[in-house]
Structure 1
């Protein structure tokens, strides 16, 4: 079926659901489904809407349909020595571009390169009236005003059906090196922030409770100079280390029980909750596996300048930190403009109050 036919069919399904007042659960490959599903009775399958539409290596721009596998996109970029700058986790072999943008997931490179939404130039979506709309474009100068395209990143499919997206891509670094040094927790946080504030070619920073790992990316001269400056032991297979961390295949994620994701100020001191900790994003993202009460978890995250999300496990608490009243009111206005009949992923745990 041609691209235009698939898009038209999806728009028809949305219009029919809107007229019937029935909710739609937008489903791609399902690789990100563990982050929360809606209570909608109808599944809108979008995984078949796939393929790279346009790729200009010289312009560093790629446009692909939402159902395109991330592996296909990354392979096409690799042929030209390029990459997705935000290093997205897959969490499964069939991960798609649409699911990645819907959840705004980014990997270890996030604090040094930017989040997934930062590289979205334009999108084509179906709104809650079944209208196919285009926002943004394929160059940065076209991204002006109220940026609806980037609003789609992290919306978990609650604002519209993503048909395709245009992304800014970047060249792969010539050389990468991963270094390891032993530090106590407080000193590890301090050192990661100290290095991040210096003109060093950092592209990742993590701490497992014993060792700090940092990745240097750039020219051979720049990487070797940075190594001499900060010291540390070179890790033989650094690429595999960061892949395991990104895909939650690191040994830390084998701990049983609830798993929480903390998004906090990178300079926040080690958080005092009993259990196991892993630091990523040079201190800004912290993973906690333990039996602390949900209220204590969220209070600790707030004291550290951020919030906590229940990533895995069954506890008597919302998966996501409830929105503040002002933010909830803003969300409701945006939701009403793009999905006036409330049919997209109704009851999704990201916005249970909406």
Structure 2
């Protein structure tokens, strides 16, 4: 199977023919437009190794994310970074390449925190392996995690090894009616307390908080915080994870990553706040420069998540030193720029 991919990539390298790496296609909207023929990973399927007692799973990149999660659920385990499916046939490799995490991310860690190792094919058609299948396996630069969020611009992921975690013994979700200023203050106050927080969400005056952990800890936190229990909590968090609500259908949709303590941005646009205040989703027609300057002033950056890409790309333009680093990495892994050209940075 891999020989077919290697041969096609080597031919594309020789001819400088661009390729679009694609799994289930659930995240084709993310990033700038790329160009070339589709190189599908859908045939690279199957769980290669799963050791529940070791909390480690290895699977091929084209394995459906739903299949991986179902297997873990049989052992009462999970992908703690809650990768979004976006309502499509998401794959494991696509989730890692996009580097996106769901509601649990601030409390459990990001996608890159759970990657132990990868196998990949670089832009010359050379098979490479980085990391391994144990948690303490990294000496020097951790190249495997470099692939997380690279959007396939450095190579074709063929296999991924991940750390998994047990599901919480107990979970409950509470709701509170609060305005934006009050909710930012409240979320930051709670973040500094020994509470079993595992997700926060605020939209249209309603704060929703998930508590996860030992039953005694969850019960004690619920008694302390008060609020109203949400009956369909799993469905609520799944909809938020996959952006399956009318708010996220709006265009353009911007994702501002800022300091959690950032006060209301007062941009006058519809918004949804996640991650304890660290992510502000905005449905806004304002110029990209306005939103990026607002995010920069708040210690962060702005990404066009859905909508027509600005001339300088969906992501905040890199500083010269970082751009040079990205160029050097691209040159090393994909010297002729055949993979997902323009997806991450407009000119390569």
For the superposition of Structure 1 and Structure 2, which TM-score range results when normalised by the shorter chain?
over 0.9
Equivalent position SS for 1:139: coil
Equivalent position SS for 1:277: strand
Counterpart contact for 1:308–1:321, Cα < 8 Å: yes
Counterpart contact for 1:25–1:37, Cα < 8 Å: no
Q: Equivalent residues in 2 for 1:1-354 (5 A)?
A: 6-36=1-31, 38-254=33-249, 256-314=250-308, 316-317=310-311, 318-348=313-343, 350-354=344-348
Q: Note the aligned Cα RMSD (angstroms).
A: 1.3
Equivalent position SS for 2:136: helix
Q: Deviations over 1:174-201 (max 9, x none)?
A: 1110011111211101111111121111
Counterpart contact for 1:112–1:202, Cα < 8 Å: yes
* Deviation for aligned residue 1:139: 0.7
* Deviation for aligned residue 1:96: 0.2
* Deviation for aligned residue 1:57: 0.3
TM norm structure 2: 0.96
Higher RCO (CA 8 Å, separation ≥ 6 residues)? 2
Distance (Å, rounded) in 1 between the aligned partners of 2:33 and 2:206: 40
Distance (Å, rounded) in 2 between the aligned partners of 1:315 and 1:10: 30
Distance (Å, rounded) in 2 between the aligned partners of 1:237 and 1:42: 42
* Deviation for aligned residue 1:38: 4.9
Equivalent position SS for 1:44: strand
Equivalent position SS for 2:162: strand
* Deviation for aligned residue 1:316: 4.3
Counterpart contact for 1:122–1:143, Cα < 8 Å: no
Counterpart contact for 2:31–2:305, Cα < 8 Å: no
Distance (Å, rounded) in 1 between the aligned partners of 2:247 and 2:23: 28
Distance (Å, rounded) in 2 between the aligned partners of 1:31 and 1:250: 16
In structure 2, do the counterparts of structure 1 residues 44 and 319 end up closer, same or farther at CA, with 3 Å as the change threshold? same
Structure 2 unpaired stretches of 5+: none
TM norm structure 1: 0.95
